[in-house]
C-alpha cells in the first residue's frame, strides 16, 4: 500500500521488478528493443524468449511516482467508493507499487493539494486524475507543477484530467471533446506497437463498459500517438498521446471513468506502469541559457551589439 502524505517513501522490494527500457533507445530514433535475440527450437529468433530472460534483470534505482487525485467522487458517491475503497489514487498507487515503483499519493484536500515544493522535488513522475473540481486547484500549485514538468518531471494525465488546468496550460488549447455515458464497449488499438508504453500489451485492449470520449479532441497533434480508441457507438478518439514540454515528458491516457472498474484492469495497469517508466526524467545535462563565452577562440572585436 502507498504511504499517506508526510511519511517516508516506501522501500519496495526490487525482486519483482522487470527490466526497464533505457530511455536513450527512443532518443536515438528507434523504439525497438535491443535485447539479445534467442534462438528457438526451429532456429528462428524468438523475441518473446529474449523478453522472458531479461525480465529477471533487476534495476538499481526506483522511479518515484506521486499519484494525485481530486478525491471528490469517492467521498460523494457510494458507487464510486465501492469500486475504489482506497480512492482512485489508492488503486493506481497500489498497482504501480506492485510493479516496482516508489509511490505516494496526494489529494486536493491536503494543504497545497499535497503538492508542495518538497514533494514535487522528490517526484520523477506525477499522475493526475481530476473531474469535478478542476477549478478548485490553486493556480500557484498549477504553476509549480508546470515548472517541474519543464525541468524534466514526467506527467501522466488521466481520463477527465484532459480538462484540468495543468493539462490545458501545457497544451495551450481547449482540450475539449465529446462524451457520453452509456457503459459501451471501447477498444484501444495500439497504433505504435514498438513504443515502450505499449510493451506487453496485446494488439488492442478491450474494455466492456466505458464512458465514450469522441473526436474532435482539441489538443495539439501528439508527438507520438500510441493508442487510438473505437467505441461501440461509432466514435473514435486519440487515447494515448505523448508530448514533450521543456525537458519533461507528458502522456495523456484516456481510460478511467470513476463508475467503471477501469483501474483494476491489468492491461490498463500495465500501460500506466509503462508510461511512468517512459515519462521518468533522465540524466541528461542541465541546459544553460543566455549569453555564452565561446568554447573555441574566435574574434570578439565586433562592437555592433546594442545589448
Would you say 70 or 211 has its CB closer to Zn ion? Answer: 211
Q: How far is the CB of 179 from Zn ion (least distance, A)?
A: 7
3-state SS, one letter per residue, for the chain: CCECCCCCCCCCCCCCCCCCCCCHHHHCCCCCCCCCCCECCCCCECHHHHHHHHCCCCCCCCCEEEEEECCCHHHHCHHHHHHCCCHHHHHHHHHHHHCCCEEEEEECCCHHHHCCHHHHHCCCEEEEECCCCHHHCCHHHHHHHHHHHHHCCEEEEEHHHHHCHHHHHHHCCCCCCEEEEEEEEEEEEECCCCCHHHCCCCCEEEEEEEEEEECCCCCCCCCEEEEEEEECCCCEEEEEEEEEECCEEEEEECCCCCCCCHHHCHHHHHHHHHHHHHHCCCCCCCCCCCCCCCCCCCCCCCCCCCC
Q: Least distance to Zn ion from the beta carbon of 80, Å?
A: 11
Q: How far apart, in whole angstroms, are the C-alpha atoms of residue 167 and residue 106? A: 17
Q: Which is nearer to Zn ion, 192 or 230 (CB)?
A: 230
Shortest distance, CB of residue 211 to Zn ion, whole angstroms? Answer: 4
Tell the smallest beta-carbon distance from residue 256 to Zn ion (Å).
7
Please answer whether residues 294 and 300 qualify as being in contact, where contact means their C-beta atoms are separated by less than 8 angstroms.
yes
State the minimum distance, in angstroms, from the CB of residue 260 to Zn ion: 9
State the residue number with the nearest CB to Zn ion: 257
Residues interacting with Zn ion, by CB under 5 A?
Answer: 160, 211, 257
Q: Kindly state the smallest distance separating residue 65's Cβ from Zn ion, in Å.
A: 22
Q: Which is nearer to Zn ion, 63 or 210 (CB)?
A: 210
Cα dihedral sign, 111-250-171-259:
negative
Distances (CA, A) of 189 to 45, 138, 163: 26, 36, 23
CB of 233 to Zn ion, least distance (A): 15
> What is the rounded distance in angstroms from the CA atom of residue 209 to the CA atom of residue 182?
8
- The residue among 104 and 211 lying less far from Zn ion, judged by its C-beta, is 211
Give the residue with the Cβ less far from Zn ion, 51 or 265: 265
Nearest-approach distance from CB 91 to Zn ion, in angstroms: 15
Nearer to Zn ion, 73 or 249 (CB): 73
- Shorter beta-carbon distance to Zn ion: residue 38 or 133: 133
The residue among 84 and 101 lying less far from Zn ion, judged by its C-beta, is: 84
Of 163 and 230, nearer to Zn ion (C-beta) is 163
Shortest separation between residue 56's beta carbon and Zn ion, angstroms: 38
Amino acid at each position: 500500500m502507498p504511504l499517506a502524505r508526510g511519511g517516508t517513501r516506501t522501500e519496495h522490494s526490487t525482486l519483482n521488478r522487470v527490466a526497464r527500457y533505457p530511455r536513450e533507445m527512443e532518443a536515438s530514433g528507434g523504439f525497438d528493443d535491443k535485447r539479445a535475440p534467442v534462438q528457438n527450437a526451429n532456429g528462428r529468433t524468438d523475441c518473446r524468449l529474449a523478453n522472458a530472460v531479461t525480465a529477471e534483470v533487476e534495476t538499481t534505482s526506483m522511479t518515484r511516482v506521486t499519484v494525485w487525485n481530486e478525491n471528490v467522487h469517492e467521498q460523494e458517491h457510494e458507487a464510486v467508493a465501492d469500486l475504489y475503497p482506497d480512492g482512485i489514487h489508492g488503486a493506481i498507487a497500489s498497482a504501480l507499487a506492485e510493479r516496482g515503483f516508489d509511490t505516494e499519493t496526494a489529494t486536493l484536500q491536503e494543504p497545497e493539494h499535497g503538492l508542495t515544493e518538497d514533494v514535487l522535488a522528490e517526484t520523477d513522475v506525477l499522475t493526475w486524475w481530476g473531474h469535478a473540481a478542476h477549478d478548485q486547484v490553486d493556480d500557484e500549485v498549477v504553476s509549480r507543477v508546470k515548472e517541474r514538468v519543464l525541468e524534466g518531471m514526467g506527467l501522466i494525465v488521466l481520463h477527465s484530467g484532459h480538462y484540468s488546468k495543468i493539462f490545458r496550460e501545457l497544451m495551450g488549447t481547449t482540450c475539449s471533446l465529446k462524451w457520453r455515458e452509456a457503459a459501451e464497449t471501447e477498444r484501444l488499438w495500439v497504433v505504435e506497437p514498438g513504443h515502450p508504453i505499449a510493451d506487453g500489451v496485446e494488439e488492442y485492449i478491450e474494455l466492456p463498459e466505458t464512458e465514450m470520449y469522441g473526436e474532435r479532441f482539441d489538443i495539439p497533434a501528439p508527438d507520438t500517438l500510441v493508442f487510438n480508441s473505437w467505441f461501440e457507438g461509432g466514435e473514435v478518439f486519440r487515447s494515448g498521446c505523448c508530448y514533450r514540454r521543456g525537458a519533461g515528458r507528458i502522456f495523456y491516457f484516456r481510460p478511467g471513468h470513476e463508475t467503471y472498474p477501469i483501474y483494476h484492469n491489468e492491461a490498463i495497469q500495465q500501460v500506466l506502469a509503462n508510461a511512468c517508466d517512459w515519462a521518468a526524467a533522465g540524466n541528461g545535462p542541465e541546459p544553460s541559457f543566455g549569453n555564452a563565452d565561446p568554447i573555441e577562440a574566435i574574434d570578439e572585436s565586433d562592437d555592433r551589439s546594442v545589448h
